[in-house]
Amino acid sequence: MKRVLFLLVAFWVAVACRKQQPSAVEVDAGLASPPRPSFEISTVGPRLLSNQTSNPLSVTGRGLKTGMKLDVGGLTVVLTALDDGHAFGRLPPGMKLPADQFMVFHEVKVDGVATGLKLKVVNDTAFPVLGALAVNGAKAYVASSTEDVVYAVDLATKQVSAIAVGDGPSALAAWRDGVAVVHRYSPEVKLIAADGSVMTLPGPAYAAAALTAGDVLYVAEHTLDTVSALDLSAEAKELWRTPVAPNPGTLALTAKGLAVGSQQTGELELVDPKTGKVLTSVEPGPGTPIAGPPTLGGDGPELAKYTMNGSMPRALAYSAKQSALFNASIGPNIGPNPKKMEVSMNGGVAVVAWDKETPLYLRHLGLGGGVTQALALDDARGLLYGADVALGLVRVLDTRKLASKSAGDVNQALLQEVALEPPSGFPLIRDPGDFAVKGRAGTALHSGPSALALSPDAKTLYVLNRFTGTLARLDVSKAPAKGTVVVDQLPITKMLAQASRRKGEVLYFADLGRSAVTCDSCHPDGHTGGLMFEKTMPLRIYRSGTVRGALETAPYFTPASTHSMAQTAKFVMERNRFSNPEPSPQEIEDVSRYMSAIVTLPNPFAGADGAPPEALTLPDGKVSHPRRGMLLFEGKAQCAGCHPAPQFTTDQDAETRGRYLDVGTPHLTPLREELQNPTFKGFAPPALVGAWDIFPMLTTGLAGLRVDGERLVVDTRFPLRKAVRAWAPQHGRADLLTDEELDDLLGYVQSL
């Protein structure tokens, strides 16, 4: 089987490369041996890019000069050379690729000379990702982050129109008669009125969540991990901005403040909505009650006392009626335990209540499988709707029972489950007879409900289906007594130009075996999910790695156990499903294709010319000089030996892969060590491309988090400083650097 999988991956890579091979005529034409250029190109990277947005590029070699022109797939990049061996540029967005090709390999030329190097360009612009929904009056708005459009849906006529917005629309919030749009890449807010007119205002880039209260727009962003308040009536004047826990991704207004959920620590912070002052924080800990049935992948209720921290809040909803904040997640993060139960996921909804002014986790209700991705609240009727992206369900819960102090009431909180079936003709990941048997999920898992919105009269629930690209309308006017009814599903845009990759997306998020364990639950939307107690051999606490750019950094796991995306996909899917059923070769090919196309986000700290900036303020307030840091990285600090360009890991090339080292960093997270396997065979040097967006750092997570009794708590908001300095001199030679030099080094890594 392993040989078959390697052949599958080799086949589609060969197909992607075939058009790039020179013909016999071209080879013959080259026999004249043109004059040797006065320069050499050693590396160009990152090697995996998206055509959706602008990407900084770095070039190393000799004889590099400003003004040299790098050609990638017909796009020209003018290089800025910092010295003879380092040049930088920025690949513009919008490279035109055949819609049905998910990735194209392009040969790199410099000043017309072939370098022998190739870049992989992912065709994201032909792969819609529908990630945000807002309903205001007679219109629904859906953001497609890869197409740079917001689709406006007339709910009366069912007509859909595309409105061009900024680069990577990431979140929507109803405002006046229209909607406010924030973006991943563009530092702007687009205000779309009901008549379709658009106004542009300044705003933060790398926005992950947005919420309006009157004319105030609250925005969470993860370049600097802040939440800000913008006055939309005064040209988006910034009222305040405050640092919060890493990767803030969810927001909700409560009677006690603005709730902010950290995607990396599992914390919920309460912020004063008028001043931005952080008031308090809360997350589950040892003994936080877990209700509901035990899950195949978690057995949560019995293991609640071994909870070490929280997991990513995926959605928040506040009930004034119950004085409770509801938090959708994969459940409390259970650590080392006597049963040796790993990745103890228990997707559902938690309840945060208040003891006077102090927030506390009342309990988490596991729902027996799946991943609750979105919430919508009808507070007047006491109904909470939850969208399960992994099972294709919408669940209806009783908020009174959910927030009750009686465990008996809580276990009766689930009132109804509604399956959202995919449209006729949507390709299935397996044969139809393989679903809804042997305890498996049904075909509804192909829909991917990922966002919810209630109509103003609370009689209609709108559901955005990420995979099938539809907006479902559910009649909830008679819920729960006579149930919720699916009225129709309105198609938003075409989703199947890359059918295999789309099926791979379904597989990445799906909980076919109803174990509550999915690829997305450990690696949310392709990124890291924090620390987990996982992997049978050796079983201990690890940081879940990011999938972004992982195609370039095999082998995988610690110690190395898989050596390709396909081998990894087979191993992980078997374990996620408990082999119910065994993944088919076609499933492995589809999900490998999807994971291979998850790119590292372009670095927001790189300059407009793609080069490290002259000066950069670090997350802890120190001022650095990244260009000086580049020279220290390759010289005095001795970093480049394990982290060479362009991916900044030795795992980037076949001849240097799999070098598992002991560089003095901790071998084990010191939490219930007697229940962890201490076997140590070294750590792989991680890729530093995208390091600015990694929290915590190190395999153990001990750069960013620390153990406090039986809990994991945040130790520093800037883990890079601790990762570089705390374990020198074995981990590089930061001990040789002055304080100013260390800042410069950190600034360079921050800009990679």
Task: Name the residue with tokens 């900044």.
Answer: 648
What are the pLDDT digits (tens) for 359-383?
Answer: 999 999 999 999 999 999 999 999 9
Please list, in sequence order, all residues whose beta carbon lies within 8 angstroms of the beta carbon of residue 744, skipping any fewer than 6 positions away.
Answer: 624, 625, 626, 628, 629, 632
pLDDT bracket for residue 1 (50, 70, 90):
very low
What are the pLDDT digits (tens) for 503-516?
Answer: 999 999 999 999 99
Percent of the chain topping pLDDT 90:
89
585 prior amide bond cis, ω within 30:
no
Please report, for residues 228, 649, 726, the alpha-carbon distance to residue 636 in angstroms, rounded to integers and kept in the order given.
39, 18, 17
Where are the extended beta strands (E) located within 438-518? Answer: 449-454, 460-465, 470-475, 485-491
Q: Provide the 8-state DSSP code for 691.
A: G
The pLDDT value recorded for residue 407 is 81
What are the pLDDT digits (tens) for 176-213?
Answer: 999 999 999 999 999 999 999 999 999 999 999 999 99
What are the pLDDT digits (tens) for 311-339?
Answer: 999 999 999 999 999 999 999 999 999 99
In this predicted model, which residue has the larger pLDDT, 559 or 131? Answer: 131
The pLDDT value recorded for residue 299 is 64
Please report, for residues 310, 369, 494, 537, 668, the alpha-carbon distance to residue 389 in angstroms, rounded to integers and kept in the order given.
20, 11, 20, 30, 34
**Taking the model in full, what pTM does it have?**
0.94
The pLDDT value recorded for residue 110 is 97
Please list, in sequence order, all residues whose beta carbon lies within 8 angstroms of the beta carbon of residue 728, skipping any fewer than 6 positions away.
Answer: 664, 734, 735
- Which helix (H) or strand (E) segment holds residue 566: the answer is helix 565-577
Handedness of CA 29, 31, 35, 37 (dihedral sign): positive
Please tell me the distance from the alpha carbon of residue 667 to that of residue 543, in angstroms, as a whole number.
Answer: 12
**Residue 321: helix, strand or coil by DSSP?**
coil
Is pLDDT above 60 for 40? yes
What are the pLDDT digits (tens) for 103-136?
Answer: 999 999 999 999 999 999 999 999 999 999 999 9
The pLDDT value recorded for residue 24 is 27
Question: Following DSSP, what letter does each residue of 120-179 receive, concatenated?
Answer: EEE--TTS--EEEEEEETTEEEEEETTTTEEEEEETTT--EEEEE-SSSEEEEEEETTEE
What are the pLDDT digits (tens) for 689-733?
Answer: 999 999 999 999 999 999 999 999 999 999 999 999 999 999 999
Is pLDDT above 50 for 2? no
Task: Name the residue with tokens 């004059």.
Answer: 35
What are the pLDDT digits (tens) for 603-649?
Answer: 999 999 999 999 999 999 999 999 999 999 999 999 999 999 999 99
Q: Picking from 23-32, 296-305, 479-488, 591-600, which range would have the lowest pLDDT averaged per residue? A: 23-32
Tokens of 40: 């050499």
The residue among 204, 326, 329 whose CA lies nearest residue 259 is 326
How is the chain split among helix, strand and coil, in percent rounded to 5?
Answer: 20, 35, 45
- Where do the domains of the chain lie, and which CATH numbers do they carry? 2-122 (2.60.40.10), 616-750 (1.10.760)
Please tell me the distance from the alpha carbon of residue 740 to that of residue 426, in angstroms, as a whole number.
Answer: 58
Q: Which amino acid does the sequence have at 469?
A: G
Handedness of CA 358, 361, 363, 368 (dihedral sign): positive
Q: Which amino acid does the sequence have at 40?
A: E
The pLDDT value recorded for residue 27 is 29
pLDDT bracket for residue 34 (50, 70, 90):
low
Please tell me the distance from the alpha carbon of residue 621 to that of residue 615, in angstroms, as a whole number.
Answer: 12
The 3 state secondary structure assigned to 203-264 is CCCCEEEEEEECCEEEEEECCCCEEEEEEHHHCCEEEEEEECCCCEEEEEEECCEEEEEECC
Q: Alpha-carbon dihedral of residues 279, 283, 288, 293, nearest 10 degrees?
A: 130
pLDDT bracket for residue 22 (50, 70, 90):
very low
Q: Provide the 8-state DSSP code for 731.
A: S
What are the pLDDT digits (tens) for 340-352?
Answer: 988 889 999 999 9
Is pLDDT above 90 for 11? no
- Which helix (H) or strand (E) segment holds residue 596: the answer is helix 585-596
Q: What is the average pLDDT value for the chain, to the nearest integer?
A: 93
Is pLDDT above 70 for 302? yes
The residue among 308, 325, 216, 307 whose CA lies nearest residue 269 is 325
**Residue 352: helix, strand or coil by DSSP?**
strand
Question: Following DSSP, what letter does each residue of 1-23 receive, concatenated?
Answer: -HHHHHHHHHHHHHHHHHTTSPP
Q: How many CB atoms lie within 10 A of CB 355?
A: 8
Please tell me the distance from the alpha carbon of residue 108 to that of residue 46, in angstroms, as a whole number.
Answer: 12
The residue among 108, 147, 102, 100 whose CA lies nearest residue 121 is 102
Please tell me the distance from the alpha carbon of residue 82 to that of residue 65, in angstroms, as a whole number.
Answer: 8
Please tell me the distance from the alpha carbon of residue 394 to that of residue 414, in angstroms, as a whole number.
Answer: 11
Is pLDDT above 80 for 14? no
What are the pLDDT digits (tens) for 456-473?
Answer: 999 999 999 999 999 999
Handedness of CA 679, 684, 688, 689 (dihedral sign): negative
Q: Is 113 exposed, middle or buried (0-12, 13-18, 19+ CB in 10 A)?
A: middle
**Residue 689: helix, strand or coil by DSSP?**
coil
Judging by DSSP bridges, how do beta strands 103-110 and 372-378 pair with one another? unpaired
Please list, in sequence order, all residues whose beta carbon lies within 8 angstroms of the beta carbon of residue 615, skipping any fewer than 6 positions away.
Answer: 623, 624, 625, 626, 747
